[in-house]
A and B are shown apart, each in its own frame.
Chain A
């Protein structure tokens, strides 16, 4: 079955770039998603990338996709304290069920 793996924790200083990595297993995934969860809140869709793209940029966010290695990354430029949150990557379930398979989440800690 599908499996999505992320490292659990990342600590950076304010103003630095953050890179959060994710590996997935289903090569047929059409879209891959990044969600952000702030403390005490639900998950918010942050960005997504279509599988025929290598890169997508959206203001301070850059998503890189390496389909050969099934590796996805989220880069946050000029990281701010407000970026402190848990970040989840997710891929669709292969059975066209509408389900998403989530990684364990990476906690990003931004130090002032």
Chain B
């Protein structure tokens, strides 16, 4: 089974702090994604990556950056956390293959609270 592991289930950070959310997958997947989930808004894509050192902006990249130095690891960085970034963050991965038919496999999420 594909395993996507997010390093923290819960995080509490202060406004202005730099925050790192880590995600590791063990299936040698090429594609990795970061979504945030908010009530009433569903899942919104922040950033994604097709390969090491590659990154693409999603629908809501403002205030975030990412790092993919190794194929299995995809990090989401909040340069200066703000209260409107309080949310559930979900990491996912998928096989490159046929991109139209590859399902996403999700981690358990990190619930971030910024105070």
Contacts and interface: CB of A to CB of B under 8 A. Distances in A.
Interface stretch (A39-47, A53-61, A64-72): A39-47
Given A31-B101, A44-B106, A92-B100, A98 B31 contact: yes
Interface string A90-112: 10100011111011110000000
A24 interface: no
B106 A43 contact: yes
A100 B109 contact: no
B19 interface: no
A88 B99 contact: no
A105 B88 CA distance: 15
Given A30-B100, A31-B101, A42 B42 contact: no
B100 A42 contact: no
29 contacts: A29-B100, A30-B98, A30-B100, A31-B100, A41-B108, A42-B4, A42-B106, A42-B107, A42-B108, A42-B109, A43-B43, A43-B90, A43-B104, A45-B105, A88-B42, A90-B104, A96-B100, A97-B56, A97-B99, A98-B31, A98-B50, A98-B102, A99-B33, A102-B42, A102-B43, A103-B42, A104-B40, A104-B41, A105-B42
Interface of B: 4, 6, 31, 33, 40-43, 45, 48, 50, 56, 58, 90, 92, 94, 96, 98-109
Given A42-B109, A98-B96, 13 more contacts: A30-B101, A40-B108, A41-B109, A42-B4, A42-B6, A43-B43, A45-B103, A88-B42, A92-B99, A98-B99, A99-B58, A102-B42, A104-B41
